[in-house]
Each structure stands twice: as C-alpha cells, then as structure tokens.
C-alpha cells in the first residue's frame, strides 16, 4: 500500500473512532435527561419505568383533589378516560389547575403506581391542550369513576 494512502486510511479511521466515542459519551450523558410522556392507561398497564422521570398527561378527575390542611401537599387523580393514576405533589399548584381540566405532571412512579410529581403544568387556556395529551385522549370519552383515595 502506498504510504500516502495508508496515512489517509489511518486518519479516516481515527476520525471515525473519535466521532463514535464522542457520540457515545453524549448519549450516555443525556440518558437521564430524556423525559418520556405516558398516558394513564400505559402507566396502569406497567409500560412506564419506575426508576426514571416521566411525564403523565390527562384530565384531573372531578372530586379527586385532596389538599393537606397543614402543608402544601396535594393528591389528585389524572385520567385519560380509560385508566386513572394517583398523583402526589408538594408545592404551589398553577393558577389554572382545577378539576376536569387538562394537566401534565412530571415526576417518578413509586412501587404502588402513584406518581410523585416534581412539576405540575396546567393547560394554557381553554383552547390549548398539549399534543401528547390530545393524542392520548383522542377517541376516548365517557364517564370516569372516581377511584378510591390514597
């Protein structure tokens, strides 16, 4: 093999190896920052991971909001009209948060299937719904039974 061709082959090989290593390191660093969206039906079916931060979206079940008298703890249920998931949140809720309204919550599932939320996002206005929630709720309607409280 000609020395110039051999040198070019080594240079290309080195660039490919270093690029692959850089992409692998970036993917490894960002793996914890990936935040996946799940509708309540997928969470109840066990498709959502327990050890990762997820987003859960749907409608707040009527009559399910329970506020603590002593602190900022709130428990409520989120539904996609197929299944419901309990959500626990400690903090100040958005002004637009209400029963029967759309919500997206971010947090981690506990072993009992309840979501311990770190952030609650209420819908923007009466016409706005996040695309993930709209897709999850599309074609699903009907009465929702209020689950037993925690």
CATH number of 35-137: 2.40.50.140
Measured between alpha carbons, how far is 133 from 125 in angstroms, rounded to an integer?
14
Please determine, for residue 3, whether its predicted confidence score (pLDDT) is greater than 80. Answer: yes
Domain ranges, ordered by start, for the chain: 3-32, 35-137
| pLDDT score of 62 | 92
Segment 26-39 mean pLDDT: 79
Please determine, for residue 136, whether its predicted confidence score (pLDDT) is greater than 60. Answer: yes
| pLDDT score of 128 | 64
The angle subtended at Cα 36 by Cα 116 and Cα 134, nearest 5°, is 95
Residues 6+ apart with CB under 8 A from 108: 50, 51, 52, 53, 54, 115, 116, 118
């Amino acid at each position: 093999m000609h020395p110039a061709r051999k040198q070019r082959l080594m240079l290309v090989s080195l660039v490919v190896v270093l690029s692959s290593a850089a992409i692998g390191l970036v993917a490894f660093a960002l793996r914890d920052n990936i935040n996946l969206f799940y509708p309540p039906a997928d969470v109840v079916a066990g498709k959502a991971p327990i050890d990762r931060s997820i987003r859960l979206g749907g409608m707040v079940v009527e009559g399910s909001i329970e506020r603590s008298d002593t602190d900022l703890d709130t428990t409520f249920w989120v539904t996609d009209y197929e299944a419901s998931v309990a959500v626990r949140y400690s903090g100040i809720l958005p002004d637009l948060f209400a029963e029967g309204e759309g919500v997206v919550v971010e947090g981690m599932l506990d072993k009992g299937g309840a979501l311990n939320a770190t952030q609650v996002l209420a819908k923007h206005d009466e016409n706005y719904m996040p695309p993930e929630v709209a897709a999850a709720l599309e074609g699903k309607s009907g009465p929702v039974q209020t689950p037993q409280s925690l």
